[in-house]
Amino acid sequence: MDKIDFKKDFKKLYLPSQEPCIVEVPKMNFVSVMGHGDPNELDGEYQKSMKILYGITFTIKMSRLSNDQPDGYYDYVVPPLEGFWDIDLDKISDFGITDKSKFNWISMLRLPEYVTEEVFEWAKVKFKSKNPNIDYSNTKYLSFEEGLCAQIMHIGSYDNEKPSINKLTNYIHQNGYTEDFNENIYRYHHEIYLSDPRKTKLESLKTVIRHPIKKIGM
């Protein structure tokens, strides 16, 4: 059986154009790490979260090489990294802020539907046994339905997202919707990273920007 590739099988969710569109995002499972601060800080919280996310993901993915694989297992291509972003001051309305130390974030990797919370805890314990000195207190299993959203493909530097965000915002309002940001963790500014910044020029980076929406007046 070929590996499942969520990015190819769900192109509407992962490969929008540079013109905004509206999507209904179904329920998905994630391994997540919640943190605070500048994602570019060397050996900072964000950088450490990457080791946890990919470590747990590959523990599940490579379980096929042992007798530990969970019920319903199938192999899959590791999906792109995702993140919800918020800041301490004025929240999303000031997302263009340049002081990245104010960011609150939740970094995530999608998991196959056979990964229940029980399977996740097994993988976390197994990975933790080989990496006992990492702080896992903010590592969680998330399963949620993001629901109605608008999204756009941003091409270019992460620091130059404002024009794409403005284009997305205008589209939302022109079509009778408004942003539905709230305290639910899955109703924040959402980014999906399709490019590896270590291997891709800044001007060629591809990032899906997704905002939750609702009909005006609701």
The secondary structure of 6-43, three-state, reads HHHHCHHHHCCCCCCEEEEEEEEEEEEEEEECCCCCCC
pLDDT digits (tens, 9 = 90+) for 88-139: 434 445 555 567 888 889 999 999 999 999 999 999 999 999 999 999 999 9
What is the reported pTM?
0.93
Write out the DSSP string of 127-138: HHHH-TTS--TT
What is the C-alpha to C-alpha distance for residues 73 and 56, in angstroms, rounded to an integer? Answer: 15
Q: All domains of the chain, ordered by start, with CATH?
A: 6-215 (3.20.80.10)
List, in sequence order, every residue forming a beta bridge with 85; answer none if it has no partner: 105, 189
HSE value, Cβ hemisphere, 13 Å, CA-based, for 140: 10
CA Rg value for the chain: 18
DSSP letter at 76 equals B
Across 171-182, average pLDDT: 95
